[in-house]
Chains A and B, each alone.
Chain A
Amino acid sequence: MFDRRGFLRVGSIGAFGSFAWSDILRAAGPAPKDLSIIHLWLAGGLSHLDTFDMKMDADRKNRTAFKEIPSSIPGLRVSEHLPRTAQRMHKLTLIRSMTHKQSAHGAAQTLMLTGHNALPTLLAPAMGSVLHKELGARNEMPPYVIVPQPRGNGARAGFLGPKYTPFSAGEVNVAKYAVRDMDLPMGVDWARMEGRHSLLNLVDAKIKPWDTTDTFDSLDSYYAAAFDLMKSPRAKKAFDIAEEPEKLRNDYGRTAMGQGCLLARRLVEAGVRFVSVGKGENAWDHHGTIFPAYANEFMPELDNAFAALLDDLEQRGMLGTTIVLLTGEFGRTAEINVNNGRDHWPNCFSLAIAGGGVPAGQVIGSSDADGMYVKDRPVEVPDFMATLFKKFGVHYEKEYVSNIGRPLRIAEGNPVNFLG
């Protein structure tokens, strides 16, 4: 049985102890490769057929409404609505042969984010939570951050428990962006908060020694860590996206994905290991009128955010240590339905990945004539996840004992050989 009590033995802490998140939540283990990952999470399911794997010869009824344009890789063409991305294809690896069998959002998202199929009684931890557990925290920053917040079970810590829960950054593309609960409430300064805390310690004085399970000690540790995070100039600065020059903010795009990606870069700079950036719950689930939605909103938003992020990371010398991953939970059907949308399709879809030593300018695998099935070099999700963990120096074959006692490997697959 998974023991949540065995951690956090840090003794008693005064009103404002000096314990930082990193002291408390550090995991043991070998020195990792110091990578980070930013996941552009296209929840709902990106259509590969209108973006990275267009089938211009498909019959007219099901053919994409978009034109192809050449990219920076000779012979490789992508959608006309990804013009900036097209010019950066030589910086990334495009996989056109991702495949799995989960066609419902929840199950597919769980698979993509955890590498494991969902079971009714067992919930595997998201990759970000595993990185937190295996590699620990850098600085006082939370290791796993989601912009805006986790949706569905797949993004969460599962059986690893609440201490590996992702930290929610909230909606970034708003007038006065602030993280939930990071700042003291109006009218309360730190002196007053300190006063409140000393009252709290008085109330707790009698009952504190009654605890025989370390729960109260860990609770105290969380207060100390929370105060540290709230007071940390580094954290405050990392979340202060208003510091960025107007020009750069506009380059990323004043959109959920754009500002989210910019924040992600700032968070990675400050020490966060895994940042997920999304547009909202299943935003990419275009069962109807997919083409105007893509052309007018979704693709420009994605194109600007992705291209600007690659440029920005490169200019700051961070691309070598930061993986940028772009994928949803599945692709979409070759058939265009009566509502002019495309439906869920897990059997074949595309994924883009750059940075962190991933080879630049390669296309892996291919789909068949309709883009419905993998023609060449299928890539399974567990193998892809094993690859990512390996890049982080995480022993992906390690087994956790899950909440139901069933052993579960960090990643069930084996690393692929083409991602560096």
Chain B
Amino acid sequence: MTALVLAALAADPTVSFVNDVSPIFTMSGCAGANCHGSIRGQRGFKLSLFGNDPKLDFDAVQSRIDKANPAKSLLLQKATTQTAHGGGLRFTPDSLQYRTLTAWIAQGAQYDPPNVVRLTKLTVTPEEYLLVGVGQSIQLKATAKYSDGSTRDLTKLVQYVANDPDTIQVDAKGLVKALQPGESAVMVRTMGQAVAARILVAESAASADYPAVARNNYVDDHIFAKLKRLNIRPSELASDEQFLRRVYLDTIGLLPTPEESRAFLANPDRTALIDRLLARREFSELWAMKFTELFRAGTREAGAKGARIVYDYIKDAFLKNKPYDRFVREVLLSQGSHSFSVSSMEGVPHSPTSFYNISFDSNAPDHATNISQLFLGTRLECAKCHNHPWEKWTQDDFYGFAAFFARVGIKEVYENDENAHQYMEEGFVEHPKTKKRVDAKFLDGGIVKDSQDADIREALLDWMTSPKNPYFARTIVNRVWKHFLGRGFVEEVDDFRVTNPPSHPQLLDALAADLVKHKYDLRHLMRTILTSRTYQLSAEPNESNRADSRNYSHFGMRRLMAEAMLDAMTQVTGVEEKYGGHPPGTRAMQLASGSSYMLSSFGRLGRDIICERDAQPDMAQTMHLISGSTIQKKVTAARLPWELNDDALIDRVYLSSLVRSPREEERAAVKARIAAGDRKAAYQDLLWAILNSKEFMYQH
């Protein structure tokens, strides 16, 4: 490099390390989690993750620059592969990045003076865009707002990453191209900040013959409007038989009895059926089971007794249709003995005091992780150890949230299950870096000072359950929606973040607002979902919607919950399961804790960590279904009305299990086996086949 060029670079407008140089590492992919942004760096060179700590980046490059001869800087040599670089070519010598870096080095490679402006807000436009036709493209624009109020176009200085690279392609300058119909977010990152644009891709625009689709309520308006934009046609309405089986299993975790089926099919009033089911005791038991699992009640340390208290409390809350905000308030404020469930709240018969009793040593950071994920759909976990890589959450946010639980402690008694969770006289959370005591802080930044006489969890709950809280109602709406539709607007259901946008933001907002308006009445929310045509669509895809998996164009098939599956097997065969310590006739859905081989194999959780159940098949399940004792016992000892003639008996078996009539070839095959000899063996074979069938095991 000649002296002349050097002088020219040095004369460039002053290059800011924070605002110009550090962003280069993010946009060029150097500062990613798999590269130099990794916790241990790469080959001795460690940058901050996506530029969240420019000072660290500044220190890191010191030994890799040559002020006397900028072009000889290892930093540039590596990035341009003039020197061998494991990460390959990041930019060329004629690029803007190269010129910026060279100028900064030539200007003396200084860190910014304290008064230089800082990025305060990053935005991307358009936030949502529909591309009609594969190959179509849209240019994104990234804009930065700075601490002095000024703005700057950062389009060429940010990193773009497509969440689903099969659907869209995005280049380094923000040009998005459609690859196949679908939907994907584009994450836009720089200087530790991240925002996202939602890009939809339709194969073609809806033509004039796009059918008019009937609607039942506002859910359908949102769902069908988007489908039309995407030119995807929804499936037909599910048949009465299909709807009947589906709504029973989803709502009360049971199959309809043959008598219930006949009654409904004679007078198929779907809304009336939904109302009857929402009033059933089994409905409350299903949600008691789900929440008991979410609360991880019944870990080994917390014990079966604690799990039973939690289960009974939740069941009672659902039986009484307790508003969800009140339910959560009671749970989070609970204190008292783990086995006697004394409540801190007047007028509440009992509350699940063992909610906090997940393990002996669970502490404020553990509670912060659990509670933010459970009730606010926010995964703070990453921010426990470092600032969150994709979100705005910092370690300060994490420990600020944890500080709400600083005084939650255990009063130990000799027997563990007689321990009590209490709100202690004192307790504080220390920031691991600053070693300073942290004030409690809401996720949106407001600070609450602890005071001796107050339980600051009350302030937290006021904030959480306020109608303005952006997380609380949306999180439960998303969970409930997933329960019935098989997929959350946001997936995973507890991973709300800017860079993981919902598939139907307006519908999510509308359902959340509706829930708040109806005083957190979960039955109202469920009724709205269940009565929608969207919920009642057939699972059979059509030509136009086969490839769609996230717009609810057809009912998404999924395996039954382990408990519902086992209980349904019991219903079909009339052979009950036995669970230790429970009276005969106990259903799997009524177990507060504990499990069986069958239930564990099919996804019932051990409750040691928070996670969603897995509904994927595996080898142990399959072998258990083929030859395991669970099905074998039920099939062998099946109590069928043997006095019926074969046509009637076959009809009854199909109606009680698949809620439909046998097809002619099915009837003929069973009859052929009966004719071959052993009638009872033939029905055993039929029951085995049905209990192993996809139509039985899956919700459809």
Contacts and interface: CB of A to CB of B under 8 A. Distances in A.
Interface stretch (A40-48, A219-227, A344-352, A370-378): A219-227
A267 B539 CA distance: 44
B669 A198 contact: yes
Q: Give me the 6 closest cross-chain CB pairs, A-B, nearest first.
A: A199-B689, A162-B618, A181-B623, A200-B689, A222-B622, A203-B693
A104 B666 contact: no
30 contacts: A1-B491, A104-B360, A119-B609, A120-B369, A121-B610, A161-B616, A162-B617, A163-B618, A168-B620, A180-B623, A180-B624, A181-B620, A182-B627, A184-B627, A199-B673, A199-B686, A199-B688, A200-B693, A202-B665, A202-B689, A203-B666, A210-B539, A212-B541, A216-B694, A219-B617, A226-B622, A403-B611, A404-B379, A406-B389, A407-B34
A223 B625 CA distance: 9
Interface string B671-700: 001000000010001101110111110101
A121 B597 CA distance: 24
B669 A226 contact: no
A167 B620 contact: yes
Nearest to B700: A207
B274 interface: no
Contacts of B632: 185
A202 B616 contact: no
Contact of A212 (B491, B492, B549): B549
Interface in B92-109: none
A180 B695 CA distance: 26
Nearest to B548: A212
Given A120-B370, A121-B609, A210 B540 contact: yes
B175 interface: no
Contacts of A200: 688-689, 692-693
A142 B608 contact: no
A206 B663 contact: yes
Chain A interface size band reads 35 or more
A220 to B, nearest CB: 9
Given A163-B616, A207-B694, A226-B623, A404 B382 contact: yes
A153 B606 CA distance: 8
A161 B614 contact: yes
Contacts of B616: 4, 161-163, 215, 218
A314 interface: no
Given A167-B619, A210-B540, A230-B626, A204 B695 contact: yes
A393 B547 CA distance: 39
Contacts of A216: 694
A198 B616 CA distance: 23
B38 interface: yes
Contacts of B669: 198-199, 202
A215 B690 contact: no
Given A167-B619, A180-B623, A407-B33, 4 more contacts: A161-B616, A199-B688, A210-B541, A404-B379
A365 interface: no
Contacts of A181: 620, 623-624, 626-628
Nearest to B546: A212
A183 interface: yes
B167 to A, nearest CB: 14
A106 B670 CA distance: 51
A121 B620 contact: no
Nearest to A156: B606
B130 interface: no
A195 B369 CA distance: 51
A405 B670 contact: no
Given A121-B381, A123-B611, A142-B619, A213 B627 contact: no
A158 B287 CA distance: 26
A185 B687 CA distance: 15
Interface in A185-213: 185, 188, 192-193, 195-200, 202-204, 206-208, 210-213
A222 B619 contact: yes
B366 interface: yes
Q: Most A CB atoms within 10 A — which of B611, B617, B681? A: B617
A85 interface: no
A223 B619 contact: no
Contacts of B491: 1
A270 interface: no
A193 B681 CA distance: 12
A165 B360 CA distance: 28
Nearest to B300: A106
Interface of B: 33-34, 38, 360-361, 366, 369-370, 373, 379, 381-382, 389-390, 491-492, 495, 539-541, 546-547, 549, 557, 597, 606, 608-611, 614, 616-624, 626-628, 632, 636, 658, 663, 665-666, 669-670, 673, 681, 685-686, 688-690, 692-696, 698, 700
A200 B492 CA distance: 33
A212 B542 CA distance: 11
Contacts of A182: 623, 627
Given A163-B618, A222-B617, A406 B663 contact: no
A399 interface: yes
Given A106-B608, A153-B609, A199 B670 contact: yes
B617 A227 contact: no
A127 B357 CA distance: 30
A122 interface: yes
B86 to A, nearest CB: 12
B627 A183 contact: yes
Contacts of B614: 4, 161-162
Contacts of B382: 404, 406
A405 to B, nearest CB: 7
Given A204-B694, A210-B539, A216-B694, A120 B610 contact: yes
A196 B688 contact: yes
Nearest to A188: B627
Nearest to A216: B694
Nearest to A222: B622
A210 B658 CA distance: 16
Interface string A1-34: 1001000000000000000010000000000000
B618 A222 contact: yes
Given A200-B689, A399-B34, A121 B373 contact: yes
Nearest to B633: A185
Contact of B685 (A21, A121, A192): A192
Contacts of B492: 1, 403
A142 B620 CA distance: 11
A226 B626 contact: yes
Contacts of B360: 104
Contacts of B38: 407
A146 B693 CA distance: 29
A240 to B, nearest CB: 17
Nearest to A211: B557
A106 B688 CA distance: 39
Contact of B628 (A152, A180, A213): A180
Nearest to B614: A162
Contacts of B373: 121
Contacts of A163: 616, 618-619
Q: Most B CB atoms within 10 A — which of A142, A183, A197, A404? A: A404
A211 B624 CA distance: 23
Contact of A165 (B619, B694, B696): B619
Contacts of A106: 608
A121 B541 CA distance: 35
Given A199-B686, A199-B689, A222-B622, A119 B611 contact: no
Interface string A157-177: 000011101011000000000
B649 to A, nearest CB: 15
A216 to B, nearest CB: 6
A284 B270 CA distance: 58
Interface in A123-155: 123, 142, 152-153
A141 to B, nearest CB: 11
B381 A120 contact: yes
A225 B619 CA distance: 8
Contact of A153 (B539, B557, B608, B692): B608
